Amino acid sequence: MATLQVTKRAHKEYAHLMKPLLVQEGPPGLYPEPLVWMEGKDMEGFSAQFWYEFIKAPRTCHPVEGTIIHPYDECLIFAGNDVGDIRHLGAEISITLGEEREEHTFMDPTVVLIPKGTPHGPVKVSKVERPIVHYGIALAPEYKASILPKQAATAGSRHAHLIKRLVTDVGRASDASGMGYTRMIDEYGVMHPIQAGMGPGNADQLVWLYGNNLEGMDVNFTWGFYSGCGKWHRGGEVHTHPQEEILVFVGLDPNDINYLGAELEVGMGYEIERHIFNKPTVAICPKGFPHLPVVVRWVDKPYGFVVLNLSGEHDSPWVEA
C-alpha cells in the first residue's frame, strides 16, 4: 500500500468570520458591569450590535440612570436560564417607555421593543429568584444614544404593545426557512427541534420571533437551550440567507461569561471550511454567504444560542454543495 504525501493548508479563508465574544465595558452609564458587547466594527461590519450578560441581583440598567433615545430600532430580551423550562424567567422587571415614562412590569421571558426615537429606560430588575439572561439587539452597527433628563414614571398602557412575551407565534404557518421549524411549535409557543427529529444537536427548547411579531422591525431572532451532541439539521448541509446574519453561541454560567460548556464546529463557505470553537463565539454570515452544517462535538453543560438575522423573515434555501 502506498504511503501518501500529505500537506497542510496555509490558513483558513473564513477565520475572520468567526470571532470570540468580546467581554468589555459597554457604553458609559448603560450597564453597571462588563458584558459581551459587540458592535458592527467587531463583526466585520455587521449592520447591528449585540450584547449579552447575566443579571444575578436586583439592579438598574439601560441606562443605569435617566432615560435614553437611540436613532435605530432596538430589542431588549430578558430570558431565564432554567434549561428545563424556557418559559420561566425567575425575575421581576420593569421598564419605562415613551415620553410619558410609562412603567411596564413583567415576570415572564420578554422582549421589549424600542422603536427608533422612543425614550426608554431605565430597566429596573426588582426581584431575582435565579440569575437571568439579558441580551440586546440594536439595528445599527454603532451604538448611539441621547440622554434625557430623569423624570417620574407614570402608569399607562399606550406602549404596552412593545412588551412581547418571548415565545414563538403558535399560529405561524411557515418559518419561510425551508428547515421545518414550524412543525415543532407546541401549544405554548416553544419549539422542540431535537424531539421532532430535526437533528440530535439542535435545541432542546427554542423560541423564534419574526418581524411581524416585532412591530415590523427588520429582524428575526431566536433564543434556545441546547444540550445534545451531533448535527443540528439533518435536512441539509449548507444554506444561505438573503440578509446578514450572526450565529451567537453563549454559555449559561452566570459566574463565568467566558464559559461555553460545549465544543462545536461550523462549516463556512461552499467549501464547508470547518471552524471549531469551545468558547462563546459569533459566526458572521454576510448576505448570501453559505454556512452550516453546525455539528456539536461534545457538551459538558447546556448552552444558549441566538440567531440574529437582519430581515423580518428567515429565507434559508439549502445549497447543494
Partner 1 sequence: MATSQMATPQIKKRPPLEYAHLVKPLKIAAGPEGLYPEPRIWMYGKDMEGFNAHFTFGFITAPTQCHPMQGALVHPYDECLIFMGTDNNNIKYLGAEISVVLGAEREEHRFNQPTVILIPKGLPHGPVTVKSVEKPIVHYAFGLAPEYKATPVAAGPPTRGMIHSHLIRRMITAFDRPQDSSGMGYQDVLGPDGVLRPSERGIGPGNGDQIVWLYGKDVEGMNVNFTWGFYSKTGKWHRKGEAHTHPEEEALVFVGLDPNDLNYLGSEQEMGMGLNYERHIFNKPSVVIAPKGFPHLPLITRWADKPYGFFVLCLSGEHASPWVEA
> Where does this chain bind partner 1 (CB under 8 A)?
1-4, 6-9, 13-14, 17, 40, 44-47, 72, 139-141, 199-201, 218, 228-231, 234, 244, 263, 265, 267, 269-272, 274, 286-290, 293, 295-299, 310, 321
For the bound state, the minimum distance from the C-beta of residue 168 to partner 1, rounded and expressed in Å, comes to: 23
Cell numbers representing residue 306 in the block: 441566538
Q: Which residues contact 153 (CB under 8 A, 6 or more apart)?
A: 96, 101, 102, 103
* Closer CB to partner 1, 56 or 297, in the complex: 297
* Closer CB to partner 1, 136 or 189, in the complex: 136
**Which residues on adjacent β-strands are paired with residue 172?**
none
For the bound state, the minimum distance from the C-beta of residue 321 to partner 1, rounded and expressed in Å, comes to: 5
* Closer CB to partner 1, 2 or 152, in the complex: 2
Best CA proximity match to 65, nearest among 132, 145, 173, 11? 145
For the bound state, the minimum distance from the C-beta of residue 4 to partner 1, rounded and expressed in Å, comes to: 5
For the bound state, the minimum distance from the C-beta of residue 208 to partner 1, rounded and expressed in Å, comes to: 19
Burial-class residue 85 by CB neighbours within 10 Å (0-12, 13-18, 19+).
Answer: middle
* Closer CB to partner 1, 1 or 155, in the complex: 1
Q: Provide, for the chain, the percentages of residues in helix, strand and coil under a 3-state DSSP scheme, each rounded to the nearest 5.
A: 5, 40, 55
Omega within 30 of 0 (cis) for the link into 293: yes
For the bound state, the minimum distance from the C-beta of residue 17 to partner 1, rounded and expressed in Å, comes to: 8
* Closer CB to partner 1, 33 or 44, in the complex: 44
Q: How far apart are CA 312 and CA 290, in angstroms?
A: 20
